[in-house]
Amino acid sequence: MRDTLTAPPARTQVPIRHLAGPDALDRALIEQLLERAASFEHGSEMKAAPLLGRLLATVFYEPSTRTRFSFEAAMHRLGGQVLSAENASRASSAAKGESLEDAIQVIGGYADAIVLRHPDVGAAERAARVAPVAVINAGDGRGHHPTQALLDLYTIKKELGRLDHLRVGLAGDLRNGRTVRSLALLLSRFPGNELVLISPRALRMGEDVIGALNQAQQGMQETSDLGGAIADLDVLYQTRIQAERFESPEEYERLRSVYVVSAELMRRLPEHAILMHPLPRREEIDPLVDADPRAAYFRQARNGLWVRMAVLDWAVAH
């Protein structure tokens, strides 16, 4: 009897497009993704359903609201479907000791792309090395958050009309804040920008990012004085002091309210400038500031949908 089983036809090998960190984003790709995001926002691509029949796995080992929901909403709006593990550290085989690498290889057999959030720095790069499909970093501990940085650039471009020759203040927990680490590197791709790194010494930006900024000849200064730095900024990017990243509650309590943006402080911010925050916030921005038209953080969060649509379209549709 002849064996009637035959091998499936070979697929054409297409390079996998991972977005594991900011190093994957040069200026040309950033501009391409932001232009595509704008086309989605303006509705010119909404009926195309470019990801019809495709499946996205969102695998989150840490909590998320904006990132997970916006990625899942983006996939649905592009015509695709979603498999979601919103508590993968406890509700997946990770609780049984399965390695990240094994989990990614298995999940990659079910989905066309994986969006990964993980508490370990470098987890997305580890996943990308073994994944049979695209891996998109949705935050790796204190490491990076490249799609947040992209939506931050998109917000700045929409609000101020440009991404160059800006004075941008990054304030708060720069040591642990993956959003500001990625944003600082992406801003260095554009000419004439100056970064003002505002933090207490215990929370200053990591030497890896400082070194990369120096290598890129990025204009930069460090200060602990928020009030003194705010008067000539185009963008103030405020961040949360992250309790979950501190080794001791005492250290967190000492630093938690080091910078608070109040209505009084906003009087020092130029009228043309904007206030941003990656959210969630605690006490670092007074809710009274929400009514100020320069407070862009909720508009910023909404922009995540269009940018993540562009990222998924780039990573999966080719």
Tell me which residues are annotated as active site.
66-67, 96, 117, 145
Q: Find, among 312, 258, 271, 294, the residue nearest to 74 by Cα.
A: 312
Question: Burial of 272 by CB count in 10 Å (0-12 exposed, 13-18 middle, 19+ buried)?
Answer: exposed
| DSSP-assigned letter for residue 251 | H
Count of H helices and E strands in the chain?
12, 9
What are 305's two structure tokens? 């949908």
Query: First CA to last CA across the chain, in angstroms?
Result: 42
What are 54's two structure tokens? 């495709």
| DSSP-assigned letter for residue 257 | T
**What is the amino acid identity at position 137?**
N
What are 103's two structure tokens? 């989990």
The whole-angstrom separation of Cα 265 and Cα 273 is 13
The whole-angstrom separation of Cα 223 and Cα 218 is 16
**What is the amino acid identity at position 308?**
R
Tokens 């200064």 — which residue?
221
The whole-angstrom separation of Cα 95 and Cα 85 is 13
Which stretches of the chain are assigned E, i.e. beta strand? 55-60, 81-85, 113-118, 134-140, 167-171, 194-198, 219-223, 235-238, 274-276
